[in-house]
Structure 1
Amino acid sequence: MASVGSKPKRKKAKHSVSLSDLKTLGQQLLSSRAHVNNLPTLLSYVSPTSPPPYALESLLSLHSFFAPLLPSLPPSSSSSKPSPLNLQDDPDFIYRTWLRSKFDQFVDSLIDLAVSPDSDETLKEIVLDTIMEFVKTGNNGRFHSSIYHRFLHTVVHSAESVDFLTDLLVSNYFKYIDVRYFTYISLEKFARTLEAKVITDVDADSQDDSHSRARSVLSDLRVYCSCRMESFILNIHYIISRIPHVVGLDEKSDCELWSGPGNGSKELSENSKVEDKKLQREKHKNNVFSAASIAKKIKLKFTKAWISFLRLQLPLDVYKEVLVSLHHAVIPNLSNPIMLCDFLTRSYDIGGVVSVMALSSLFVLMTQYGLEYPNFYEKLYALLAPSIFMAKHRAKFFQLLDSCLKSPLLPAYLAAAFAKKLSRLSLSVPPSGALVIIALIHNLLRRHPSINCLVHREDDDETTKCNSKAEGDSETGLDMSSRKQGMDWFNNEESNPIKCNAMRSSLWEIDTLRHHYCPPVSRFVLSLENDLTVRAKTTEITVKDFSSGSYTTIFGDEIRRRVKQVPLAFYKVTPASLFTDSDFPGWTFKYDDGKEKNDGSEIKNQ
């Protein structure tokens, strides 16, 4: 005998009912109220452990049963007020309350079935359509936000992959503006809940128990919770980043709603076609009005959802994805984009690739929304390092760098500092980076004639002192005689562009590129030997044409070039050594049995 309180095994009960019997139970439930006891049996088959044909057959029967009853069912017991005493003993009210509890159980089973990894994809699609149908009709024709919130909560907090279900939701239902509206509301709540959990964990760390065993258990638990929280954040980002943009919605837009305005109480007149048309016209106006009113508020909900999401401790991969799309997918749709200034300035201060990726959004806020960032050019100057020329997003960075240095109000010392820093980098970067540097320096010299003195400079004391006064350095009266002849005043290790002494230097590094080993670099330098003092004679170079270059692009361009004269190495006698005696007069290169000695005796000075 089974013990008291033990539950019967569901698998044995399922084998006792065939698919045809299950279909008969559904037909009986739909035909008469006397067979309402078939409802619990059908509900037991709406489960991830049920075979798909059984789950589908039960789902279809239950959906057909509950759909016409939803307007007459009382509110859920968890959200409703206590019912009056005169209705608590009413048999019909008790029956409808029981049906309401079974409907809630049915919705919970559908949600579990939708997110279960054991469910078939075809079945998931049908389940999602059923859930969204209840969202549409379960609140007297208005959007049932409670069911939708429960569904999204389960999707976001699922430990398994929900990409397929989310893609279905995006493709089939995110075109409706009310679905997007309530999605933003739910995602904001989820983000705030996760943020509160992080704050609670920090407080718990500060009041941690002194026992080592307790600390170990708490540490393992927090690691597990941290992994789960990263999964939740990934799910939130996957949904919020795929909601269509709200740009273009206005009061005149006839936006499509998933649910109606809730006109279930109105009935069409059967005798008058005029009243029928009039009512349809009024209903259309109500739909447009509802869509327009939602369009006014959806931007605010969009802002709250994204701001709440960006307050979370984002994983690094999510952090980078957000920064890549922030300037074109989020900032134009925010009600007040300046709210992102703290997030972007913190990202810009991190340095490295993260700073490069945050530069796009920060530049948009500065140029389009009036953000003041006093240390912007100092941080931008610090980003100029050899590693930036190998970064993934270097093309966008170089284009933004060229735009940031375009202002005619840029001080001469800043323009000179950037030109000199880039010139020094040209000695250590790949050939593709040298091409970008040449284009950037050419544009700087053309836009800022005050730094044309960097092109060629003689060791002149008076000129150096004048430049020192213009730069405001403390070494104004320093005697040049104490410096070695031809010494570069530029301090490449200085992070402050004001103190790097760029105005005292020259762009000698660019002159060395005339003899660069890569032919495109040397040709590009020679092609730019124009009179930069008269800007009308030159035009700016489009940095975009060089910003995404690499060894592959350079090699591809070279093999496509049609060369008329090709240099050839011709020897009448096969060379016996790498260098000839005429290359190094006074030196002899000898080899002993083809093996090079390490004591240096093979190279003798004659």
Structure 2
Amino acid sequence: MEPPTKKNKKKKTTNKYGVAELKTLGNELLSSASNINNLPLLLTFVSPSSPPQHVLESLLSLHSFFLPLLPQLPSSSATANPSSDAAGDQSEFIYLTWLRSKFDEFVKSLVEVLVADQSDETLKEVVLDTLMEFVKVANGGTFHSSLYNRIISSILYSSSSAEFLIDLLTSKYFKYIDVSYFTFISLEKLARNLEGKYVTDDKTASVDGTDESQLSSNIEGVIHNMYYTISHAPFLEKSNDTSVFEMWSVSESSGDLDDKQLKSKKHKNNVLSADRIAKKMKLKFTKAWIAYLRLPLPLDVYKEVLVNLHQAVIPHLSNPIMLCDFLTKSYDVGGVVSVMALNSLYVLMTQYGLEYPNFYVKLYALLVPSIFMAKHRARFFQLLDSCLKSPLLPAYLAASFAKKLGRLLLSVPPSGALVITALVHNILRRHPSINCLVHREDDDEDSDQRTDEVTASNLDNAETGSKPLQKSGIDYFNIEETDPMKSGAMRSSLWEIDTVRHHYCPPVSRFALSLGTDLTVRAKTTEVNVGDFSAGSYATILGAEITRRVKQVPLAFYKTTPSSLFSENDFTGWAFQSEETSQMIDVNNENAAKNLLDPEHSSAKRQRIECQ
């Protein structure tokens, strides 16, 4: 027989009561203090294992019971007896201390129900509203930051997804300035604790041989939940009027002042307090983000952070230059991560005075064929065009970018060819010093030497009666070189751009011809908007061709329905053989090979054929 345990006793107790009995117990508890023993009984039903109806009914009764008593309850850390020796005061203090312990137990049970997987969404919403009500009033009318930090920590560390609860906080409570303020404080504390825990647990795992995969998965889940929270917490817009700042918990300590004094006090402190609130919010926002970016972010979160950093984070930081280490390290990673970091890094360089000497070297290394198939290629090409817009750019650097883009033109899809043509066109217009690359057949510094060599070779050929020797061009550009200064682009030519005029895709060839005309008539033309081509693909090119009006269209019609894709007239001199014919061809090939091995036999055969 199973011995009676506390858990078994709890099951037997809870099975005796239904919703009606719980409602009766709650009414008795609220009607008279003599029924205080109903309090521990109702607390047993606030559990993730209890039915939702029982949890809800017990929660409503306990919420109504504790709410008016919260200002009278001592703090959880109060252990000393009151200074009065009166037995009544001492007994009252013991009673209030006992009630405080039951309230703490009630809060703990509510948090467990809030993050439990088996709790339905309706019950979670009611529990969250109850906890937020305690946050509002349980600290003497001011915001209960420790309780709120406990709620946020439980949500982020829960095994289930925190999106539903964070969405509830966003829609209901993040609009209040104090809730957002303490949200950033809680996130900063959790991020710092998680950073220390990650380092400690990582060392312990390497020494003790514990399961590192389980540890990393738990940490990744918390980091995902933290990012979802910090990205949804709204930033405070600066205002000179504190009336627009809604507070969830407001202390009414100024009730002794009359109306005139209260109005004058608010009027004097209105502007200063608004400015101070904005500065504090910006500081907490900055600390929360900096602490979060120090964590070992998973790759999917890492990419999402880099994509949204320039819009959602950088404008609201107290000192955006603090992100320079994070962004430069991301920019040095290479690949798609560097492309995503380029956006925020460009904002810091152009708007906040960040100096990054190797910026163009890293940007030059990003020009690879795979970039034309990347997800964020549209923004990358627009930033690339903006980075090459400065007239102070050295000629060798502009030539290296133009030449490398031209070389990529030979291997990219048609949509990439359109982007490259537009980029090279803009580079040539902005930097006239590299116009020598447009049409150069021989290197200027070696032209005299080459002329002498060609002349001497032609004289020798004239004596022997052979054809003149044609000196082929040499491309001095080295695409494998990572340093633009050593690439040799200034000694080369943009011969790759000429190939675009004969491109197999009609839009590409037409675009190249039109830009060639623009370079000759500079006064009547302007730069090309790269954004019109940066997001192109096969689908956009096909859609543009379908909607394009064409004056002359090649027509083809058949009097009868064709039975094959190609007719014999399309391939004059060619014949499509069957398997038997292919075998005969193989025999003929073998005979031809024998003739090659026996030259006398083959020559005699040719003589017989000629005689015939």
* TM class, shorter-length: 0.7 to 0.9
Cα distance change, pair 15–88 in 1 and its aligned pair in 2 (3 A): farther
Task: Give the CA deviation at 1:250.
Answer: 3.4
Task: Give the CA deviation at 1:71.
Answer: 0.8
- In the alignment, is residue 330 of structure 1 matched against residue 313 of structure 2? yes
Task: Give the CA deviation at 1:51.
Answer: 1.4
Greater Rg by CA: 2
Cα distance change, pair 22–285 in 1 and its aligned pair in 2 (3 A): farther
- In the alignment, is residue 320 of structure 1 matched against residue 310 of structure 2? no
Counterpart position of 2:465? none
- Tell me which amino acid in the other structure corresponds to 1:528: L
Counterpart position of 2:230? 240
Counterpart position of 2:364? 381
Q: Which moved more, 1:390-399 or 1:528-537?
A: 528-537
- Tell me which amino acid in the other structure corresponds to 2:245: E
Unaligned regions of 5+ residues in structure 2, if any?
455-469, 593-605, 607-612
Provide the identity percentage.
Answer: 63
Cα distance change, pair 568–83 in 1 and its aligned pair in 2 (3 A): farther
2:6 and 2:138 map into 1 onto residues whose CA distance is: 35
1:390 and 1:600 map into 2 onto residues whose CA distance is: 49
1:243-322 alignment runs, 5 A limit? 243-246=233-236, 248-264=237-253, 266=255, 275=258, 292-322=275-305
SS at match of 2:517: coil
Task: Give the CA deviation at 1:204.
Answer: 3.7
Question: Paired residue for 1:462, among 445, 450, 454?
Answer: 445
Cα distance change, pair 255–479 in 1 and its aligned pair in 2 (3 A): farther
SS at match of 2:127: helix
Counterpart position of 2:484? 497
Cα distance change, pair 289–111 in 1 and its aligned pair in 2 (3 A): farther
Task: Give the CA deviation at 1:592.
Answer: 3.2
Question: Paired residue for 1:354, among 337, 341, 345?
Answer: 337
Cα distance change, pair 596–266 in 1 and its aligned pair in 2 (3 A): farther
Task: Give the CA deviation at 1:201.
Answer: 3.4
Counterpart position of 1:115? 115
- Tell me which amino acid in the other structure corresponds to 1:351: G
1:49 and 1:291 map into 2 onto residues whose CA distance is: 47
Cα distance change, pair 532–4 in 1 and its aligned pair in 2 (3 A): same
- In the alignment, is residue 193 of structure 1 matched against residue 193 of structure 2? yes
Question: Paired residue for 2:515, among 528, 548, 559?
Answer: 528
Count of equivalent residues: 567
Question: Paired residue for 1:229, among 210, 219, 227?
Answer: 219
1:242 and 1:192 map into 2 onto residues whose CA distance is: 20
* TM-score for the superposition, normalised by structure 2: 0.86
Task: Give the CA deviation at 1:579.
Answer: 3.6
Question: Paired residue for 1:547, among 534, 544, 547?
Answer: 534
Task: Give the CA deviation at 1:18.
Answer: 2.1
Cα distance change, pair 99–253 in 1 and its aligned pair in 2 (3 A): same
Cα distance change, pair 301–379 in 1 and its aligned pair in 2 (3 A): same
Counterpart position of 1:471? none
Q: Which moved more, 1:552-561 or 1:528-537?
A: 528-537
Cα distance change, pair 144–257 in 1 and its aligned pair in 2 (3 A): farther
Q: Deviations over 1:358-379 (max 9, x none)?
A: 0000000000011111110010
Counterpart position of 1:470? none
2:502 and 2:587 map into 1 onto residues whose CA distance is: 31
- Tell me which amino acid in the other structure corresponds to 2:216: S
Task: Give the CA deviation at 1:36.
Answer: 1.1
Cα distance change, pair 111–277 in 1 and its aligned pair in 2 (3 A): farther
Task: Give the CA deviation at 1:106.
Answer: 1.1
1:263 and 1:290 map into 2 onto residues whose CA distance is: 17
Across the aligned residues of Structure 1 and Structure 2, the Cα RMSD in angstroms comes to 3.0
- Tell me which amino acid in the other structure corresponds to 2:241: K
Counterpart position of 2:391? 408
1:328 and 1:293 map into 2 onto residues whose CA distance is: 24
Cα distance change, pair 41–228 in 1 and its aligned pair in 2 (3 A): same
- In the alignment, is residue 131 of structure 1 matched against residue 120 of structure 2? no
Q: Deviations over 1:504-549 (max 9, x none)?
A: 1111111111111111101101111225366433201111110000
1:370 and 1:534 map into 2 onto residues whose CA distance is: 37
Unaligned regions of 5+ residues in structure 1, if any?
209-213, 269-274, 466-476, 581-587
SS at match of 2:313: helix
Task: Give the CA deviation at 1:121.
Answer: 1.2
SS at match of 1:536: coil
Question: Paired residue for 1:593, among 569, 575, 578?
Answer: 578
Q: Any conservation in 2 of the 1:176–1:258 contact (CA below 8 Å)?
A: yes
Q: Any conservation in 1 of the 2:52–2:123 contact (CA below 8 Å)?
A: yes
Q: Deviations over 1:231-261 (max 9, x none)?
A: 0000100100111123x32343434333344
SS at match of 2:486: coil
2:287 and 2:553 map into 1 onto residues whose CA distance is: 64
Cα distance change, pair 341–70 in 1 and its aligned pair in 2 (3 A): same
1:502 and 1:160 map into 2 onto residues whose CA distance is: 56
2:102 and 2:477 map into 1 onto residues whose CA distance is: 79
Question: Paired residue for 2:380, among 397, 403, 427?
Answer: 397
- In the alignment, is residue 345 of structure 1 matched against residue 335 of structure 2? no
2:28 and 2:273 map into 1 onto residues whose CA distance is: 41
SS at match of 2:577: coil
Q: Any conservation in 2 of the 1:142–1:259 contact (CA below 8 Å)?
A: no
1:370 and 1:29 map into 2 onto residues whose CA distance is: 66
Task: Give the CA deviation at 1:280.
Answer: 7.5
Q: Any conservation in 2 of the 1:254–1:288 contact (CA below 8 Å)?
A: no
Q: Deviations over 1:71-109 (max 9, x none)?
A: 1111113xx474556579700011111111111111111
- Tell me which amino acid in the other structure corresponds to 1:429: V
SS at match of 2:533: helix
- Tell me which amino acid in the other structure corresponds to 1:422: L
Counterpart position of 2:164? 164
Cα distance change, pair 85–491 in 1 and its aligned pair in 2 (3 A): same
Counterpart position of 1:433? 416
